[in-house]
Amino acid sequence: TVPTPQWRPVYHFTPAKNWTNDPNGLINLDGVYHLYYQHNPFENKWGHMSWGHATSTDLVNWKHLPVAIPEIETKDTTTWIFSGSAVLDQHNSSGFGKNGTAPIVAIYTADQPKQQKESQFIAYSNDGGLTYTNYANNPVVDIHKKDFRDPSVIWLEDQHKWLMTVAVPAEHKVQFYGSVNLKDWQLLSEFGPQGDARKIWECPSLTPLYVDANPAKKKWLLMVSSGNQDAATGMQYFTGDFDGKTFTNDHTPETQLFVDYGKTFYAAIPYNHLPANRQMMIGWLMPFETATWPWRGQMSIPRDLQLKTTPAGTRLFQQPAAVLNSYLEKLPAVKKRQQHNVSLNSQALPISNSRQFNTNANWIDATFTLGTASDFGVKVAQHSKGSGVVVGYNVQRQELYINDGKDTRHMSVQPVNGKIRLQVLLDKSSLEVFVNDGEKVMTTLIFPAKDATGCAVFAENGGVKLNTLKVWN
Ligand code: FRU
């Protein structure tokens, strides 16, 4: 209970107070981004699970709203509102609409600890998503299991039906269900175990995307979270085809592809109801190691999703949401810095020598051309005594690494045309690193001392060319 304002992110979402985990029911309605989230309204730790609620128009400034779906307490049953999704039921297929206005329907997991049971519930909103009424005939999907959760629902326009992707965690499986009214669901098929099945599977989602932005090449992205709390990596993905019933993996069942190579990025789900051909997700950054107060847990930067063809096959690329660019553009000139064609030779070039950039809330975009240097990259949260966090690229090993002074994590990345681009989003206690236009991403949490705010680009054991450096504070 020691306040930790120095670790409160300024451009990532945190609840005003108390605990959050997974983002839930991400939906865009008339240009307003709704973010529901797993929330304990009473304490700064997991429990009393409810759907907290916030909205934003720029994905940076969030308006805190009252809890949208609270836990349900009856004489014999406690029902916790676990993760799920929200849809706009434009054709009023559910019949929950009122006075010709389309209802918003939330599909979530009812976790009933006393009964050791999880099943899928629905609830509807007739006031734009502020409050929800639980459907009288819940559950809508029940397979009589203790672990069965995290329904992700999308509308399949060509089939004119709803599709639910939901996890059977202990079996490392997802199930697909179809419905025409959000109330009656039919099992379509199952997928898994495949890929990484070391840990339970949670928070799945299935998303259609064009490969290389080509409308003639449609693929489906299946994302699954696995390894809550003790994972090497939190989220994996598959790419493949979906015929309205069955998902077919493009890759061999053994192939493992990861959404993020840090261990904090978890439970990400895509937004529903975005403008055509845009896909964007938000994930949770798991705060298990260090306590913050009076809140705990934060969301990732919203990330645009793309599939691209690479020499290794179809891959997921992530970028900080393009919507955020207009926010960066609007920042005053003293909060921006740009340099081009700088030679770095076994040296560090400070970014934080001007006080504006000395806040541990920088967005850094740097492109380097490899030279003789063995390592280069960005140093953040540096203390004058020399400690800090290094985001580096090692040329010989072809690896991007983050070294926070305690731990080093790395991932392999190849230069593209002899270049490495690093987008480093540093926000007080979170660090998201997108490499080569988001071909790979590594996210971590850091907890720097108050006076550890130094920031620099660097090259070691030789030279590199810094083609461009852009920094926003
Ligand atoms: C993932 C998760 C979900 C579940 C929720 C409960 O972090 O375990 O599977 O719905 O959190 O808060």
Q: What is the pLDDT of residues 392-405, one digit of tens each?
A: 999 999 999 999 99
Distance from the alpha carbon of residue 45 to the mean position of ligand 1, in angstroms: 13
Stretch 138-158: mean pLDDT: 97
Query: Mean per-residue pLDDT for 79-97?
Result: 98
Asked whether 378 and 366 are in contact (CB, 8 A), the reply is yes
Q: Which residue out of 150, 166, 298 has the highest number of ligand 1 atoms within 8 Å of its CB and is therefore the one to mutate?
A: 150
Active-site residue list: 22
- Which runs of E-coded beta strand occur in 169-264? 173-179, 186-191, 201-211, 214-226, 235-242, 247-249
Q: What distance in angstroms lies between residue 373's CA and the mean position of ligand 1's atoms?
A: 44
Residue nearest to atom 12 of ligand 1 (CA): 82
Nearest-CA residue for atom 6 of ligand 1: 82
Q: What angle (nearest 5°) sits at the alpha carbon of residue 471, between those of residues 470 and 473?
A: 155
| CA angle 202–204–206, rounded 5-degree value | 175
Domain boundary assignment for the chain: 5-320, 331-472
Calculate what percentage of the chain has a pLDDT beyond 70. 99
pLDDT computed for residue 228 by the predictor: 55
pLDDT of residue 355: 74
Which residue type sits at 160?
A: H
Local structure of 326: helix, strand or coil: helix
The per-residue pLDDT of the chain, averaged, comes to: 96
Lining residues, ligand 1, CB within 6 Å: 21-22, 38, 49, 82-83, 109, 149-150, 202-203, 228, 267
| For range 379-387, the mean pLDDT | 92
Average pLDDT over residues 308-334: 95
Cα gap 458→270, rounded to integer Å: 35
Band of the pLDDT at 229, cuts 50, 70, 90?
A: low
Mean pLDDT for 237-251 is 97
Q: What is the pLDDT of residue 353?
A: 74
Residue 342 structure tokens: 């700088």
Fold of 331-472: Jelly Rolls (2.60.120)
Rounded to an integer, what distance in angstroms lies between the CA atom of residue 219 and that of residue 162? 18
Instruction: Give 82 Cα–ligand 1 centroid separation in angstroms.
Output: 6
Rounded CA separation 358/356 (Å)? 6
Which ipTM was obtained for this model? 0.99
- The C-alpha atoms of residue 223 and residue 267 are separated, in whole angstroms, by 9
Specify the pLDDT at position 263.
87
What was the pLDDT predicted at 290?
81
3-state secondary structure of 6: helix
Find out if CATH 2.115.10.20 is the number for domain 5-320.
yes
Reported as a single tens digit per residue, the pLDDT across 269-298 is 999 999 988 999 999 999 877 889 999 999
